[in-house]
Structure 1
Amino acid sequence: MNDKQGALAGIRVIELGQLIAGPFCGQLLGDMGAEVIKVEPPNQGDPMREWGRGEHKLWWEVVARNKKSVSANMRMPEGQEIVRRLAAQADILIENFKPGTLEKWGLGPDVLHALNPRLIIVRVSGYGQSGPYSDRAGFGGIGEAMGGWRYVVGDPDRPPSRMGISIGDSLAATYGCMGALAALHARERTGRGQVVDSALYEAVLQVMESLVPEYQVSGYIRERSGSILPGIAPSNVYKCKDGDYLIGGNQDAVFARLCKAIGQPELATDERFVDHVSRGRNQTELDQLIEDWTSQHTVAEVEATMIEYSVPSGVIYRAPEMLADPHFAAREALIDVETPRWGKVTMQNSFPKLSETPGGIRSPAPAEIGQDNAEIYGDLLGFDAAELSRLEAAGAI
């Protein structure tokens, strides 16, 4: 029988961060079953509550799902004491403030580990907790630039571009989550927690393949190449009668099938395209030959042919295509969540899928700042009604 609570059931997470990197790390842990207690500034809340595009601001509904909201002013001694008491009963604490901020508030790792030696502290920042740049302000785009991502994204005749999402923040959050899971395993052996230091630029650097050694060994600097990867052919977006279609056929056997699919089987043995190196050398010419064929057909016709010949390919999806796709539906890649503010909201499910202890969305994002104060501060920390009223009157919660 599947454990509907998720693999991290019984793990308590305190999320202090705001905006993207810290909260996305909390989202990942919450999706896997952890109890996530999000600490928000009183009356102000996380700015993510107002982020998103279009008429409605919906990003909060995704990034704050599976979380409870409490309010605490961490700039006040009373708010700092609340966080210390929460940390004393937690397994993981997440923050993505500028390095030194927690220490300034009396919430540094030395203080928190004295209260709870088993605590795992995930610290996400632009440049990391050490080094000459550590005290600089850093956002996701800065990490993408320093980590090498921005330089190689876009067309070669244009300035460096960016993705339409905050990939640097998401990568740093994902590595922070990965580090927390590793630290949980290490704690089973040592009995001690530790600090997970996830820097935005290093998270980006980690996915940059062999970019650095290519330069260090051979002097090669990767440049922007638009929709292709130089030397990897065919692998591109090709125009059809009614849209664009992605085809990847750079492996020898796959390329031979692609040649048959477009009615030119002789291309597989043509000396210009006979192997990986030759195809890369003649990439532009090969792409034009393929597009000469795709441009005579609709996207649906090209897709049907590629499927028939088992050539990796696909439609370039937007949200409408995702919502209409039967594969998304069959795997529950998208799920409907009933939210207090917007009613039914369809969003991405929890990934990856675990067979025995699957993750999932157990609760919607908290609609109100501090809506769980009574439960967490009363039941977990033992504050009575009079104390809660005093803290609220003082502006601490």
Structure 2
Amino acid sequence: MTARALDGIVVLDLSQVYNGPYCTLLMAQLGAEIVKIEPFRGEPVRWRVVGEQQTAAFGLLNGNKESLRLDLKDPRGKELFLRLVARADVVVENFAPGTLQRLGLGYEVLAEANEKIVLASGRGYGAQTPQAGQRAMDLTIQAVSGVMGSTGYPDQPPMKAGAALADFFGGTHLFGGIMAALYQRTATGRGQHVEVAMQDAVIPSLTSNIAGYLDSGGTLPERTGNRHGGLAVAPYNVYPAADGWVAILCMTNGHWQSLCGLMDREDLAADPSFATPAARVAQIDKLDDFVAGWAGGRPRDDMVANLQHAGVPCAPVLTLSDVMSGPMVGPDSMIRPVKDADGQVSYVFGSPLHLTGSKPVPSTTAPALGEHSDSVLTRTLGLTGAELATLRAENVI
């Protein structure tokens, strides 16, 4: 028995921005050894926006990793990388399509160095799509997948989701693909190339919207604001309280009956014209007016407590300030404060994966650029101090 699910797994992380780094963060939190291989200026998110000061975004996604600075365009850098591949289990990358091939580091080359290697590639678009060779970012995937087209209000322009859904859905699916490849390797003894397109990963999240389109024969509005994406549930909205906003939805007739009881509207509970989900959706505007009128004069937190006690699905609408000052921040929470050697506090993400048989990994700060170059190359490849000094002087590491 290992202490953690991925103890002994070595990952060479070439990935950048959000998609790949989140995938490798999940692996690090299960015990994998992550060597983040960066170009000489570091990956783009390190210095984005705030100049020479490392960004909070980089810190959040790169705790529990080692940083190796390496020039893959230099033949000696490429040779060092392939020597590392020979001792690794996984390589993760989300470069623009064709980049690894141009570097002479495609899957065939990696597999020649190590037949057990799993190459995991985060892509924007699926290999069979017209956009397969195009560069992609979260915004462009939201645009082309239907996410933007289904976000916002019918009488307003399309809007992106506030969260970077495509990046993180893609990264999560890439993690799943790697786990499957590692499991299959136990039977075959060989690695393989895993590819996950962000566009593919985000499409299933549109289930309600696509179902509404299909069920209505394409007649439903594509953008429904805060209402249900397929207009199949009502009430389902964000309603104003006296001091904030509350999300309330009634998935079942029982939820609706309980809400009517809280609103002191037994007449609505007994009205056959509101007795079924379809009937309530047919009068969605009237229903929203009833709920909004009731909610508007009540303190948010009291209303949420009463709704939850009655079993009605609901939640207060929290700001980022609320989240950052609430229970999601803490040493064992999803946003974890950590101190570096100088006592400076930064934040890293915790893991949403909880395995009873895998001991949690204590969170550490994201590494400085190239912080572990010497230790990784000495530990893994046995390079001497003189060899490291030469490589550094000649800008290979």
TM > 0.5 fold call? yes
Query: CA, structure 1 residues 324+212, in 2 after alignment: closer, same or farther (shift >3 Å)?
Result: closer
Matched residue type, 2:42 = G
Match of 1:91 in 2: 89
Any unmatched runs of 5+ in structure 2? none
Map 1:166-205 onto structure 2 (within 5 A): 166-205=164-203
Match of 1:320 in 2: 321
CA shift, 1:251, in A, is 0.9
CA shift, 1:69, in A, is 0.1
Match of 1:71 in 2: 69
- Superposed CA deviations along residues 227-270 of structure 1, whole A, max 9, x for unmatched, are 10123111111111111111122311111111101111231221
Q: Hey, what's the Cα distance between the residues in 2 that align with 1:248 and 1:218?
A: 21
The more displaced of 275-284 and 17-26 is 17-26
Q: Hey, what's the Cα distance between the residues in 2 that align with 1:195 and 1:169?
A: 20
Q: Hey, what's the Cα distance between the residues in 2 that align with 1:107 and 1:32?
A: 27
Matched residue type, 1:296 = G
Does the 8 Å CA contact 1:303/1:313 hold for their aligned counterparts? yes
Does the 8 Å CA contact 2:338/2:363 hold for their aligned counterparts? no
- Superposed CA deviations along residues 65-94 of structure 1, whole A, max 9, x for unmatched, are 110000111121111112111111111110
Does the 8 Å CA contact 2:20/2:94 hold for their aligned counterparts? yes
Q: Hey, what's the Cα distance between the residues in 2 that align with 1:330 and 1:38?
A: 24
Query: CA, structure 1 residues 327+124, in 2 after alignment: closer, same or farther (shift >3 Å)?
Result: closer
Match of 1:374 in 2: 374
Map 1:53-68 onto structure 2 (within 5 A): 57-68=55-66
Query: CA, structure 1 residues 237+176, in 2 after alignment: closer, same or farther (shift >3 Å)?
Result: same
* Number of equivalent positions: 393
Q: Hey, what's the Cα distance between the residues in 2 that align with 1:155 and 1:9?
A: 48
- Superposed CA deviations along residues 115-169 of structure 1, whole A, max 9, x for unmatched, are 1111111111212455543222211211222222111011111111012232211
Does the 8 Å CA contact 2:12/2:85 hold for their aligned counterparts? yes
Q: Hey, what's the Cα distance between the residues in 1 that align with 2:331 and 2:272?
A: 44
Match of 2:13 in 1: 15
Query: CA, structure 1 residues 21+340, in 2 after alignment: closer, same or farther (shift >3 Å)?
Result: farther
Percent pairwise identity: 30
The more displaced of 286-295 and 48-57 is 48-57
Map 1:172-251 onto structure 2 (within 5 A): 172-209=170-207, 211=209, 219-220=217-218, 223-229=222-228, 230-251=231-252
Map 1:42-191 onto structure 2 (within 5 A): 42=40, 44-51=41-48, 57-129=55-127, 131-191=129-189
Map 1:250-261 onto structure 2 (within 5 A): 250-261=251-262
Matched residue type, 2:265 = Q
The more displaced of 384-393 and 343-352 is 343-352
CA shift, 1:335, in A, is 2.7
The more displaced of 381-390 and 91-100 is 381-390
Does the 8 Å CA contact 2:59/2:347 hold for their aligned counterparts? no
Q: Hey, what's the Cα distance between the residues in 1 that align with 2:82 and 2:184?
A: 23
Q: Hey, what's the Cα distance between the residues in 1 that align with 2:15 and 2:329?
A: 31
Aligned with 2:274: secondary structure?
coil
Matched residue type, 1:60 = F
Q: Hey, what's the Cα distance between the residues in 1 that align with 2:17 and 2:314?
A: 35
Any unmatched runs of 5+ in structure 1? none
CA shift, 1:271, in A, is 2.2
Q: Hey, what's the Cα distance between the residues in 1 that align with 2:7 and 2:131?
A: 37
Matched residue type, 2:321 = P
Q: Hey, what's the Cα distance between the residues in 2 that align with 1:149 and 1:327?
A: 27
TM-score normalised by the chain length of structure 1: 0.91
Does the 8 Å CA contact 1:350/1:359 hold for their aligned counterparts? no
Query: CA, structure 1 residues 13+327, in 2 after alignment: closer, same or farther (shift >3 Å)?
Result: closer
Aligned with 2:206: secondary structure?
coil
Match of 1:297 in 2: 298
Matched residue type, 1:380 = T
CA shift, 1:53, in A, is 8.4
Query: CA, structure 1 residues 145+327, in 2 after alignment: closer, same or farther (shift >3 Å)?
Result: closer
TM-score normalised by the chain length of structure 2: 0.91
- Superposed CA deviations along residues 256-313 of structure 1, whole A, max 9, x for unmatched, are 1111011112312212211111111111111110111111111122123213322111
Query: CA, structure 1 residues 284+131, in 2 after alignment: closer, same or farther (shift >3 Å)?
Result: closer
CA shift, 1:107, in A, is 0.6
Aligned with 2:84: secondary structure?
helix
Q: Hey, what's the Cα distance between the residues in 2 that align with 1:319 and 1:340?
A: 28
Q: Hey, what's the Cα distance between the residues in 2 that align with 1:165 and 1:52?
A: 18
Q: Hey, what's the Cα distance between the residues in 2 that align with 1:97 and 1:45?
A: 14
Aligned with 1:124: secondary structure?
strand
Match of 1:270 in 2: 271
Does the 8 Å CA contact 2:148/2:160 hold for their aligned counterparts? yes
Q: Hey, what's the Cα distance between the residues in 1 that align with 2:267 and 2:128?
A: 58
